[in-house]
Amino acid sequence: MKSIWLTALAKDETKVQDLMRQFKKYGLEVRGHFWEDNLDKMSWIAPREEILKPEVVLWAILVAPGEMEKESVRYGLSLLALTVKTARGAGFPILALIPEEWETPEALPTPFRDFEFLKTSDPGLPAKVVALSHSPKPSGNGLPYRLDVYGNVQIGQWFEVGPAKEAWEGAVFGVDEGEILFHAVGPSGRLPERAVLNYPMKGLEMELDGRKLTAWAVQNPLEPGESYFIKVEGHPNYVVFGPFPKEDQVELYTLRLK
């Protein structure tokens, strides 16, 4: 049976049960969890494997007043959304179920820009969710890069970046907050056990819209299927990454995470 994974940002069991009844009438089973806002324990990663199960056709986030305004919540949801989209594909639908009084802010984290937003008071909500879960799903996102994240208490928080189509002559990754602790290069999809780095660089200074960032870099050539892995302590608001800049002009990619 096709199912929805529901993440409730607040422990509102009455609201969750009401949504479960609505969706079940339309042939969609609802499973899920209550969000744990604990970045130190990297609790954001907990539901990942459940969302990736093939019977899950949509991830819904039940927004509670005040919760989505917390930077820690936005950051955790951003990382989970990034890794889910990487694993399930760009077309996998993520839906934010918002209360009547909540207005979608203009300044959203970058991963939220692919979310669908529907009000829980909408009488046509179940039908719209069913339609969304059956909507055509494109095979790719058309982006020139790949991005994934990993996290648990044992290994820490890691970002993985690399080229989607055209090779990179090295790579750079910067943060505006937090600290980069380690970097490596290896096949995509798993953290490398060991790596040989070509001309590794640390503590590079960058600037983005008046924000100062600190970056690390390597000059290892990266083909599609190879990645640059960066261990980050803390919770950056912005990350910047891309091919290593060998000329004055180079296209770097920027993501806002909270």
pLDDT means per 10 residues, the chain with 258 residues, are 93 92 90 96 96 95 91 97 94 93 82 92 92 75 89 95 94 97 96 93 89 95 97 97 81 93
Domains of the chain, start order: 3-133 (3.40.50.2300), 145-256 (2.60.40)
pTM for the complete prediction? Answer: 0.94
Q: Which residue, among 101, 118, 117, has the nearest Cα to 66 in the 3D structure?
A: 101
* Main-chain phi, psi angles of 118, to 5 degrees: -135, 140
Percent of the chain having pLDDT more than 90?
A: 77
Beta carbons within 8 Å of 224's beta carbon, 6+ residues apart:
162, 163, 164, 165, 166, 167
